[in-house]
Structure 1
Amino acid sequence: MRLARFATDALIEEAHATPKPALVDRRGNGAHRDLSLAVMERSAYSLEPTFAALARASQGKRPSAALRADLAAIGRDGEAVMMHATQGSNAHRGAIWIVGLLVAGATIASELAQPPVPVADVLCSIGAQIACFPDHGAPLVATHGSRVRARYGVGGARREAQEGFPHVLRVGLPALRAARHRGMAEHAARIDALLAIMTTLDDTCLLHRAGVPALSAAKHGAREVLSLGGISTPSGQAAFERLESRLLALNASPGGAADLLAATLFIDRLAPPSADGGTTLWSI
């Protein structure tokens, strides 16, 4: 299924995007001891059947509590498959939620008449509607994400989805396409899109690993890189190195932002700009 392949490719492209601050990329493992590029690739490939199952479960459906329950069960099964493929390392738990909801949203959007608003907005809106239904089958055991949300009062990936993926639609995607429009190389455009997301995202991965100091360092450092012209300029590269050094010293990495970059790449490929300035949806 093309949609599942697009989702898998987005995870792999995010993993390969280089250089990312303290994250796994082609240079090395960043701040992670249990992850590597090979592990990230195995994780992504293991999830392709899960994304296909999410798409199949969404066919002919509309957002509902029943659909939310079906998708949640598929996602949890996919998480178990991923953990087996990575020998217990959490490579893409957040991405299963974020990208998985977008897969469901895209499936439903593809069955609608051409909407009067951009397709990317439609599929994100559908994903958000699904996310707003409660997951009654969720395990009662507290997770890193739930602990961080409670301690710091942030919304995390759950709120990002429920609010319509604003860091994808309003930050990551515009930054990616603006960088391309300026003639920036694709690899640099993707990094600048990641940095743009980092400037405003309350990344629960950073908060979990090193608290507010890590989140503040990430936001400030990303803003500094972009203010100096981005990763493709000498001064921007120097600022990036300072940002990465700070995060490595804190043993923290912006994993939430990385998941949203993958979601940005997924939507960018699925709903590319059309000649008239709108977007078109690939046949699924």
Structure 2
Amino acid sequence: MSSREDETLARAAVAALTRQLELMPKPGLPDPRDLGARITRQDHRALRWSAKTLVPGLTAMAACARRNGAATPELRAELGAIGRCTEHSTRLAGGGHRGATWVLGLLVAAAAMDPGARGRELAATAKKIAAHPDRRAPRRPSRGSSVSAKYGAAGARGEARAGFPHVRRALDVLAKARTAGTPEADARLDALLTVMSTLQDTELLYTAGPHGLRHVQAGARGVMDAGGTGSAAGRAALDAFDVDLQERGWSPRGSGSLLAGALFVDALPVTAARVPV
């Protein structure tokens, strides 16, 4: 893999994040609608602009993984350092992508280290990287780690160490929906809601507590139980769920980051070496 291919992976990851941002309506998450009344208070154009600042950092992560060639503690530490620098640059450009930096950073590194891996194989490679502790991480606890410790939630770190089960679930939903002829936008919304229905989102736990998390999970399941976003009943349930989260001021941001990760993995080209004979 060359430096050009490292950048190609980074740009593919940012394109996946942009596709997630463009999707609508996303309950409690920023999308292209008028954000003046949206609960996130984040301008959609600013988020799309700041997403571009991830390219240099993700390129560096890909190059680092390619050079190391194995999921070692040293690689994990280097990726963590690059990630923190990337988060700082993104904050200066408008911020809003901390969770996506973690998810996409690990998946981009896995794709660079194991170029033939796709789907579950790629998630398994990312799991090996995440299994190591970040020895250079600041000692002070983050909001996510504090909430995880308080409620026993897996959090972003646990999700990665489990091999990104929600990314895998989203990929399964996308594949099933496409086979059924579901429009792409509806397939992606269904994948988002599937993630939202079971994810232990630490941002939600911090904002709304366990009751709020269960409420959001139930709302997402309600849309899917009504037939998904491609059905009239499912769309009505989605609209009601969206209004509900706006009024409550709750944002399931972890689900959006994981959908971006799934869209990145989904967009990777299938290589001849991995196609069954």
Q: TM-score, normalised by structure 1?
A: 0.89
Describe how 1:58-137 pairs up with structure 2 within 5 A: 58-60=65-67, 61-86=69-94, 89=95, 91-110=96-115, 119-137=118-136
Please list every run of 5 or more consecutive structure 2 residues that lacks an aligned counterpart in the other structure. Answer: 1-6
Distance between the aligned counterparts of 1:212 and 1:255, measured in 2? 16
8 A Cα contact 1:217 1:246, kept in partner:
no
Give the number of aligned pairs. Answer: 267
What is the rounded CA distance, in whole Å, between the counterparts of 2:215 and 2:244 in structure 1? 7
C-alpha distance after superposition, 1:86-135 (max 9, x if no partner): 0xx4x11111111100000000111xxx6xxx732222111111111111
Once the two structures are superposed, what CA deviation does each residue of 1:220-277 show, in whole Å capped at 9, x if it has no partner?
Answer: 1111111111112221111112212222222111100000000000000015598x97
**Structure 1 CA distance for aligned equivalents of residues 189 and 107 of structure 2:** 22
Relative to 1, partners in 2 of residues 1:198 and 1:130: Cα closer, same or farther, differing over 3 Å? Answer: same
Alignment of 1:14-25 (within 5 A): 14-25=20-31
Alpha-carbon shift at residue 62 of structure 1 (Å): 0.4
Q: Find the residue that maps to 1:59 and give its secondary structure.
A: helix
Q: How well do the aligned residues superpose, as a CA RMSD in angstroms?
A: 1.9
Distance, in Å, in 2 between the alignment partners of 1:256 and 1:201 is: 8
Where do 1:231-270 residues align within 5 Å?
231-270=229-268
- Contact 1:217–1:243 at 8 Å: present in 2 too? no
User: 1:176-196, CA deviations, whole angstroms, 9 ceiling, x for partnerless residues?
Assistant: 121111111111111010001
Partner of 2:49: 42
Structure 1, unpaired ranges of 5+: 279-284
- Could you tell me whether the CA contact under 8 Å between 2:10 and 2:58 is conserved in 1? yes
Q: Which moved more, 1:39-48 or 1:257-266?
A: 39-48
Q: Are 1:50 and 1:74, in contact at CA under 8 Å, matched by a contact in 2?
A: yes
For the pair 1:28 / 2:40, whether they are aligned, the reply is no
Aligned-pair CA distance for 1:218: 1.3
**How far did 1:148 drift?**
1.1
- Matched to 2:16, the amino acid is A
Structure having the higher helix fraction is 2
Deviation sequence 1:59-97 (CA, Å, 0-9, x none): 1320001111111111010000000000xx4x1111111
Scaled by the length of structure 2, the TM-score of the pair is 0.91
Alignment partner of 1:52 is 2:74? no
Secondary structure, aligned partner of 2:114: helix
Query: What secondary structure, in the 3-state scheme, does the structure 1 residue paired with 2:124 have?
Result: helix
Q: State the distance in 2 between where 1:158 and 1:128 align.
A: 10
